[in-house]
């Protein structure tokens, strides 16, 4: 810890997903043949029709600052998308376009939380939630779930976690890292609990919405009339459109929250990249059917990796319904010694796989669940087969 730096930054944990990806890159540069299953990043190229929209924008001289909260016609596209896919009606003042869904989430935490406000985070949660909350002075309240409830929080657990200091409930569905999806009925049951606590704002991170394998239909908390005025719906193009590096995310929110995010962003980034915004108009206006081929591929890979992992002793896998991660419980390996290395926890296990199988995964600790590791199957079938075969050998 460097005492010249602020307490704020010293209290932040580096992003485990990005750190593991960097470590894998480093090892690869040193000549090691690492298979990276750590980063949640589609291995597809951005579709041609979206790339063409960006090229057109460059040629059309889109080069000035954009409105802080996004181009008006991008907001039109977002309005169309929310109506078409989620039956949600927003007006322009309720929308903010940001530099990735990550910044959108950061903005919301900054404008809603005061020091000491509690945020209910069903575990496992996406790696950055707890640090984004802490950076805003909030206190993460982790609610443990397990593979037995498909990693979903029950209404009883939500009720038990709420205190007079609770200001937010924050989750992703489809969930990173578990792939679980809350059905409309399950969300309704959580909303029923929240009726008693009107001070609680819900952050519904729906960035994996389109990566859904057809078991449970996507549902949005804000689509319930009684939740609309206190739910922030977060989405983005990184995952379904293979646009991670373009860095565009957005929110639909109560006006007072959206305007506060706009004010914050005006002092921090001045708005998201202009060319990327132009490309995202095309991504959102066109039918999501155009990216279905990627989702079909992810679905095939999910079946493949589940079949392979279920053949290795000590991997207890849930069946992810969306996103592109499996989150196996690996506690059966704790306390065991392989090749002279004793595995005491999920971090040891992930490190062992990196060093002895040359496969990068992420420890579940980073997601608030120390029994599991996260494996991303946004990789080719050959890589998945080779990675699991190496894991099996390293553990035999």
Give contact residues for ligand GLU (rule: CB under 6 A). Answer: 15, 17-18, 39-41, 102, 127-128, 176
Distances in Å between the alpha carbon of 387 and those of 185, 360, 384? 37, 9, 5
Selection from ligand PMP, ligand GLU, none that 35 binds (CB < 5 to 8 A by kind) is none
Subset of 132-171 contacting ligand PMP (CB under 6 A)? none
Of residues 100, 179, 320, 328, which one binds ligand PMP by CB under 6 A? 100
Selection from ligand GLU, ligand PMP, none that 109 binds (CB < 5 to 8 A by kind) is none
Q: Are 168 and 201 in contact, with CB atoms under 8 Å apart?
A: yes
CB of 292 to ligand GLU, least distance (A): 21
Cβ proximity to ligand GLU: between 28 and 263 the closer is 28
Cβ proximity to ligand GLU: between 17 and 204 the closer is 17
CB of 325 to ligand PMP, least distance (A): 9
What are residue 233's DSSP bridge partners? Answer: 204, 252
| Sign of the torsion formed by the C-alpha atoms of 270, 274, 278 and 279 | negative
Subset of 226-285 contacting ligand PMP (CB under 6 A)? 236, 238, 244, 249
Cβ proximity to ligand GLU: between 181 and 281 the closer is 181
d(CA 132, CA 296): 32
CB of 40 to ligand GLU, least distance (A): 3
Token reading at 100: 């990735």
d(CA 141, CA 118): 6
CB of 48 to ligand GLU, least distance (A): 24
Closest alpha carbon to 127 in 379, 378, 377, 374: 374
Cis peptide before 232 (omega within 30 of 0): no
d(CA 200, CA 148): 28
259, with CB counted inside 10 A (0-12, 13-18, 19+), is middle
CB of 239 to ligand GLU, least distance (A): 8
101 contributes a contact to ligand PMP by CB under 6 A: yes
CB of 16 to ligand PMP, least distance (A): 12
Distances in Å between the alpha carbon of 171 and those of 143, 162, 221? 11, 15, 11
Which one-letter DSSP state was computed for residue 212? B
CB of 338 to ligand PMP, least distance (A): 30
Cis peptide before 124 (omega within 30 of 0): yes
Token reading at 204: 């519904």
CB of 19 to ligand GLU, least distance (A): 9
Contact flags string 24-63 toward ligand PMP, x per CB under 6 A? ----------------x-----------------------
Cβ proximity to ligand GLU: between 86 and 176 the closer is 176
Cβ proximity to ligand PMP: between 53 and 276 the closer is 276
235, with CB counted inside 10 A (0-12, 13-18, 19+), is buried
Q: Which stretch binds ligand PMP (CB under 6 A): 61-69, 100-108, 148-156, 356-364?
A: 100-108
176 contributes a contact to ligand PMP by CB under 6 A: yes
Selection from ligand PMP, ligand GLU, none that 18 binds (CB < 5 to 8 A by kind) is ligand GLU
- Binding residues for ligand PMP, rule CB under 6 A, total 13
Q: How many CA atoms lie within 13 A of 280 on its CB side?
A: 36
Residues near ligand PMP (CB under 6 A) are: 40, 100-102, 126, 172, 176, 205, 207, 236, 238, 244, 249
């Amino acid at each position: 810890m460097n005492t010249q730096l602020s307490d704020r930054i010293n209290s932040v944990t580096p992003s485990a997903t990005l750190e593991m990806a960097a470590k894998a890159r480093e090892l690869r540069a040193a000549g090691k043949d690492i298979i990276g299953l750590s980063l949640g990043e589609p291995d597809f190229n951005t579709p041609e029709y979206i790339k063409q929209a960006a090229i057109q924008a460059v040629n059309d001289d889109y080069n000035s600052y954009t409105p802080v909260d996004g181009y008006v016609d991008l907001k039109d596209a977002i309005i169309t998308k929310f109506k078409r896919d989620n039956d949600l009606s927003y007006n322009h003042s309720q929308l903010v376009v940001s530099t990735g869904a990550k910044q959108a989430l950061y903005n919301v935490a900054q404008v809603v939380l005061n020091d000491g406000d509690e945020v209910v985070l069903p575990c496992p949660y996406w790696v950055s939630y707890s640090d984004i909350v802490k950076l805003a002075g909030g206190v993460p309240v982790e609610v443990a779930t397990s593979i037995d409830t498909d990693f979903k929080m029950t209404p009883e657990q939500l009720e038990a976690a709420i205190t007079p200091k609770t200001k937010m409930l924050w989750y992703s569905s489809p969930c990173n890292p578990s792939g679980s999806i809350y059905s409309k009925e399950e969300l309704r049951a959580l909303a029923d609990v929240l009726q008693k606590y009107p001070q609680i704002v819900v952050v519904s991170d729906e960035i994996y919405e389109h990566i859904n394998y057809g078991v449970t239909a996507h549902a949005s908390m804000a689509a319930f009339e009684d939740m609309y005025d206190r739910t922030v719906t977060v989405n983005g193009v990184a995952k379904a459109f293979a646009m991670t590096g373009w860095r565009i995310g957005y929110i639909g929110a109560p006006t007072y929250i959206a305007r506060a995010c706009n004010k914050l962003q005006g002092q921090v980034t001045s708005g998201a990249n202009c060319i990327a915004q132009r490309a995202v108009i095309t991504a959102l206006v066109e039918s999501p059917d155009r990216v279905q081929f990627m989702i079909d591929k992810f679905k095939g890979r999910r079946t493949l990796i589940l079949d392979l992992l279920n053949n290795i002793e000590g991997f207890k896998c849930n069946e992810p319904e969306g996103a592109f991660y499996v989150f196996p419980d690996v506690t059966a390996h704790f306390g065991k010694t392989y090749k002279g290395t004793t595995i005491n926890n999920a971090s040891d296990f992930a490190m062992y796989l990196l060093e002895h199988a040359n496969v990068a995964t992420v420890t579940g600790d980073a997601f608030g669940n120390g029994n599991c590791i996260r494996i991303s199957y946004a990789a080719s079938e050959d890589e998945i087969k080779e990675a699991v075969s190496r894991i099996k050998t390293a553990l035999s």
